[in-house]
Amino acid sequence: MSYPRRKFRYICLVIIALWFGDTAQAESAVASAHPAATLAGKEILEAGGNAFDAAIAVAAALAVVEPYSSGIGGGGFFLLHSQREGTNLFVDAREEAPGKATADMYLDSSGDFVRDRSLNGPLAAAIPGLPAGLVYLSENFANLTLQENLMPAIRLAKEGFLTGDRYEKMAGYRASALRLHKDAAKIFLDQGDVPKAGFRVIQEDLAETLQAIAVSNGESFYSGDLARKMVDSVVSKGGIWRIEDLKNYEVKIRQPLISSYHDVKIISSPPPSSGGIALIEALNILERYDLKKYERDTYIHLVVEAMRRAYRDRADYLGDPDFVKVPLKKLSSKMHADLLASSISDTEATSSSSLPQIGSRQKGADTTHFSIVDGLGNRVAATLSINIPFGAAITAEGTGVLLNNEMDDFSAKPFTPNTYGLVGADANAIAPRKRPLSSMTPTFLEGTDRIAVMGTPGGSRIISMVLISALDFMMGAGPIEMVSSKRFHHQYLPDQIYFEKDGLTSSEQESLSKKGHKLKESGRNYGNMQVIVIDKADGSIDAASDPRGEGSSLVW
Ligand code: DON
């Protein structure tokens, strides 16, 4: 691709930014969960695009090459920093419940929750937000056209990509659900079998869908031919989508949550994500301790106690802010943290059941993340999802659009856990056009000398992963250490520390058990974090992709 005029403008902008910017910034970086998506971002940046153009290209490429993680039939959050304006913005392209959704739609006649309905097939799918998110970025922030930015993804869909071990694992996990839907099975399986690494996945329909989105600027997807095709397909399979649901969909532009941990500024995701608020609550609690002075076992204990309390508030208070009043000021206040911290002992675990029960106050995988920084200092942290691997395992026929199962992120019945074991109360009950509560936590950390752009998939464990790596950053860690941190997790209920394979040493396990914690080791490692760190003094950049995944990061 060659864009000589744009390239010239880009070089001028870099010179201007270097001259006037408060941080010297010239390097660019992309860290994403798939090498082909990272390369798509690099291609667009080199063609004169900025970080927002690259975000469109990377998101669309991931939708093609990581169909188990995110997609055009899903949604997500983009946290943006515009260096020229000096502003941060949060683009909420989260999926929305269809207009015919009801609070009890996943309960059977005896009032019992039927998980299969919220996870598999047409009823599980909420109205997708990602295409609208890409159009919003294109109209408001891009240097290049939507067509130019979608081109790498269109190419990958048309020519196909080769599957790896991760694809094999994810498809294996969802093979039985995919086999139930002919159209999805044809695209994502190898004649009904789980593809072995090296299999080429070609998605011609998806290439045409992306092309139609580019040409119509999203109109076809939300009110034109594609919209009709998707609704017909969903309804014919027993779903409840209507054309109005797609027509009504719009991205919501929200102010990110801002807080501080000592002298580091935290910029993170507001509701309908629970991530930013839980991260801020936990950091506010931990700010009360001189964490450096504790042995690692006590450090883990204190972090777990902070997680326990933050996740309790998540379950109790959080939901779509356009439907429920979320007391953000109170929850993010240092006074609230004082109150929460007052019941923490250095030596003994609090039992979750001794904390106020949720709902008792008066009423009042898979996913993906990428981080991008451009030579001007613009930043994007985006976490995108179709929920569990391969979403609802169903495609809208003839469009190649794999549908999400984000409806399972609602609390289908009070106190009944969702697929991540998360419980919730009324604040996250299903309602027409409501957005399900998310844990996705794209975050910027601005220290006195360094800035981190970060995030990860991982369902409910996203927040605890971001917290652990943010604390590591505060203690001087770079991107490699941040993506490699050993992971442990507590989400209030179930009342246990869940930790990844080799996440805690045996002596840490012994010490935590002695303090009264229950422990549960996962048989595997989890998370797929992508981090970029900028050195404010000289603008140099360092980036890393989680060694647990197959992603790649490039700095140039
Ligand atoms: O929005 C959420 O919180 C979930 N749908 C994210 C799912 C996820 O990260 C799965 N990844 N392993």
Residue nearest to atom 4 of ligand 1 (CA): 459
Give Cα separations from 467 to 252, 333, 400, 473, 489 (angstroms): 26, 17, 36, 10, 10
Kindly report the pTM of this predicted structure: 0.94
Q: How remote is the CA of residue 16 from the centroid of ligand 1, in Å?
A: 40
Strand, helix or coil at 553?
A: strand
Res 275 pLDDT > 90: yes
Q: Helix, strand, coil % (nearest 5) of the chain?
A: 40, 15, 45
Residue nearest to atom 1 of ligand 1 (CA): 438
Distance CA 393, CA 388 (A): 9
26/326: higher pLDDT: 326
* Ligand 1 atom index nearest CA of 275: 3
Res 140 pLDDT > 50: yes
Distance CA 157, CA 40 (A): 13
Please classify residue 2 by burial: count the beta carbons closer than 10 Å to its beta carbon, then call 0-12 exposed, 13-18 middle and 19+ buried: exposed
Beta-ladder partners of 92? 77, 252
For a ligand 1 pocket test, name from 387, 460, 522 the mutation site with the most ligand atoms within 8 angstroms of its C-beta.
387
Give the DSSP letter of residue 288.
T
Q: How remote is the CA of residue 262 from the centroid of ligand 1, in Å?
A: 29
Say if residues 296 and 485 touch (Cβ distance below 8 Å).
no
pLDDT at 422: 87
Q: How remote is the CA of residue 95 from the centroid of ligand 1, in Å?
A: 12
Sequence-ordered list of residues with C-beta below 8 angstroms from that of 35, at least 6 positions apart, any chain: 550, 551, 552
Q: Check pocket membership of 92 for ligand 1, CB cut-off 6 A.
A: no
Q: Check pocket membership of 272 for ligand 1, CB cut-off 6 A.
A: no
* pLDDT tens string 436-474: 999 999 999 999 999 999 999 999 999 999 999 999 999
Mean pLDDT of the chain: 94
First to last CA, the chain: 18
* pLDDT tens string 204-236: 999 999 999 999 999 999 999 999 999 999 999
